[in-house]
Amino acid sequence: MEKQLDPKTLAERYRLMLRIRFHEEAIKTLFTQGKIGGTTHLYIGQEAIAAGLVAQLRKDDFISSTHRGHGHMLAKGGELKPMLAEILGRADGYCKGKGGSMHIACITLGNLGANGIVSGGLPIAVGSGISAKMRGTDQITVVSFGDGAANEGNTHESMNLASLWKLPVLFLFENNRYAVSTETSRSMAGNMEKRAAGYDLPFARVDGNDLEAVHFAAQDAIAYVRSGKGPFVMQGDTYRIEGHYYGDAMVYRSTEEVDGWRKKDPILRVEKLLAERGIMSEAEYQQVRAEIQQEVNEAVAFAEASPQPALESIFEDVYTEWQA
Ligand SMILES: Cc1ncc(C[n+]2csc(CCOP(=O)(O)OP(=O)(O)O)c2C)c(N)n1
Ligand SMILES: [Mg+2]
């Protein structure tokens, strides 16, 4: 029999996946209402990866994330209220409203930051790995990156150095099939397994829409990296259900393709498991959905009531001081 999560953990991860999904759905509404500045990239469809891997990290481990990073942050212990306040650019946000969707960071939670630079998270993870090694701790750093980022020089330089110096970094390749409008088959030569082998790194590939598959592969990868043997590359195959950014016309792919992937929705798959294993009936998981929706609604109200950052705060939390 395939390995199974115990009922309590499965139910907890289900709640987390719903929290990630409903948070993103709330952002869609806020964005449509013109309440979010700039752009926003949604993690809808990829929840099993954050909930399967990031959620089992220790609090003192680190993550280095991407422009599509809300799910990673919530799985690392992020709370809905300061998340949404940050995304609305308000003073109660994780970065006091000065980071926004693409730059959410929280050092106490071990999030070294979402990142607007595609592949920008990888060198940061290498630096974090060097730090853990020099300090002699067994903390690990997980860096998520997409299929677009996979082809950037940063990715190769980071894997090379991390392998050479045996750094405690888990490279998490989230292949959601698209980089903006370009499908992976048109952008990526070879594959990640061969690339990892080229840097002498162990590799595992899983169905990224299968929570338990991600969890158990991640458990092994985390143990390997934590033991001090060096980095590991893990690939989760998934699909970006929404457009690249919210509002993208998505003319580059067919409705049939998207609908096909909606049927593989990682949340629906967990609901099926919960029911089949007698952990929750449909009525019970509908109740959980209602509870999480309520949590998200309260967080939206909190964020909307949060003040704008004070003008003077623009000079706080910066590394250099401006002088006339
Ligand atoms: C260095 C750099 N190049 C290009 C961009 C513009 N850009 C933003 S997201 C993106 C696509 C990234 O695709 P992928 O790595 O697959 O991540 P996904 O959006 O699928 O999560 C691009 C090209 C950028 N932000 N940074
Ligand atoms: Mg992608």
Domains of the chain and CATH, by start: 7-306 (3.40.50.970)
Q: CA–CA separation, 228 vs 132, rounded Å?
A: 11
* CB count in 10 Å sphere of residue 77: 15
pLDDT of residue 272: 98
pLDDT of residue 1: 65
Which residue's C-alpha comes closest to atom 8 of ligand 1? 118
Which residue's C-alpha comes closest to atom 4 of ligand 1? 118
* pTM of the model as a whole: 0.97
CA of 179 to the centre of ligand 1 (A): 6
pLDDT of residue 246: 87
pLDDT of residue 110: 98
Pocket of ligand 1 (CB under 6 A): 41, 66-68, 116-118, 146-149, 176, 178-180, 240, 244
pLDDT of residue 215: 98
Q: Are 125 and 90 in contact (CB under 8 A)?
A: no
Q: CA–CA separation, 170 vs 140, rounded Å?
A: 7
CB under 5 Å of ion ligand 2: residues: 146-147, 176, 179
Q: CA–CA separation, 28 vs 128, rounded Å?
A: 33
Provide φ and ψ at 86, rounded to 5°.
-65, -45
The distance in angstroms from the start CA to the end CA of the chain is 69
What residues contact residue 255 under an 8 Å CB cut-off, 6+ apart? none
- Give the nearest ligand 1 atom to 244 CA: 19
Q: Which parts of 93-210 fold into alpha helices (H)?
A: 121-135, 153-164, 192-198
Element (H, E) at 209: none
Give pLDDT tens digits along the chain (324 positions).
Answer: 689 999 999 999 999 999 999 999 999 999 999 999 899 999 999 999 999 999 999 999 999 999 999 999 999 999 999 999 999 999 999 999 999 999 999 999 999 999 999 999 999 999 999 999 999 999 999 999 999 999 999 999 999 999 999 999 999 999 999 999 999 999 999 999 999 999 999 999 999 999 999 999 999 999 999 999 999 999 999 999 999 998 898 999 999 999 999 999 999 999 999 999 999 999 999 999 999 999 999 999 999 999 999 999 988 887 776 666
- Give the nearest ligand 1 atom to 41 CA: 19
